[in-house]
Chain A
C-alpha cells in the first residue's frame, strides 16, 4: 500500500511563528503536492514538486515556501504564520508521466490552528 505520512495530525501555533509541516512518502513517487482545504473552497494547490530540489507554485503560494531535498520528503514552510492560514493541510504524491497511473495519494492531513 502507498503510504504518505504527515508529521503532525494537529498543530497549534502563534501568529508570527515559523511553522514546518513535513511529509514523507514510501512509493518512490516523483511528484509531491501540498494542498490546503477550507469549507466551501475545496482543495487548493499551494506548491508542488516534480523532482528533488524542483518546485513550482500552485494556485495560492503566498505566505508559503517548500523544500524537497530528498525524493521521499516534501516540507511546507509558513514563514510567519497568520490566522488566515488556519486550515487543513494535505500532502499528496503521485507518479509522473504518461502511460502510468497518475492518481494522487494523500496523507492523513494536518489541522493547523494559528492563534
Chain B
C-alpha cells in the first residue's frame, strides 16, 4: 500500500512568519510531487509541483524534495491570513501514468 503521510495539524503561525508543511511517502520509486491548497468548502488547487531533489521557489512558496529521505515539504514565507487552508501533498509513482496518491492534508491557520 503506497502511503503519503502528513501531520493533520492544525498548524498555527502568526502573520508574517514562515509556515513549514511536511510530507513523507512510502513508495521509493515516486517521481512527481505536488502541493495543493484547499479552502474550506472548495476544491483543491495546485500550488507547486516538484520533480527533482532540491528546492523550487515560486513567489512566497518553496517546495523542497529529498528523495533519499522520502520527504517533501512546502515553505510559505511571509504567511498571510489568506493562506489559512488545508494543504494536500500528492505523489505520483513511476509505475503509474496517471494515479496520484494524496495525503489527508494539514490544516494551516495564520493568525493576524
The interface on chain B, measured as residues whose beta carbon lies within 8 A of the other chain's beta carbons, has a size of 21
The answer to whether the Cβ of B46 comes within 8 Å of any Cβ in the partner chain is yes
Check if B97 sits within 8 Å of A101, measured CB to CB. no
Count A-B contacts at CB 8 Å. 51
Within 8 A of A (CB), among B85-112: 88, 90, 92, 94, 97-100, 102-105
User: For chain A, what secondary structure do more than half of its interface residues adopt (helix, strand, loop), or is it mixed?
Assistant: loop
B91 to chain A, nearest CB (A): 11
A contact residues around B90 at 8 Å (CB):
104
Is B97 a contact partner of A42 (Cβ separation < 8 A)? Answer: no
Query: A96 and B34 in contact (CB under 8 A), knowing A42-B104, A104-B90, A107-B43?
Result: no
Which B69-94 residues sit within 8 Å CB-CB of chain A? 88, 90, 92, 94
For B99, give its contact among A48, A106, A108 (CB under 8 Å): A48
Cβ proximity bits B41-57 to A, threshold 8 Å, 1 near / 0 not:
11111100100000000
Residue numbers of B with Cβ under 8 A of A are: 32, 34, 41-46, 49, 88, 90, 92, 94, 97-100, 102-105
Q: Which residues of A contact B (CB under 8 A)?
A: 30-31, 40-43, 45, 48, 50, 90, 94, 96-98, 101-109, 111
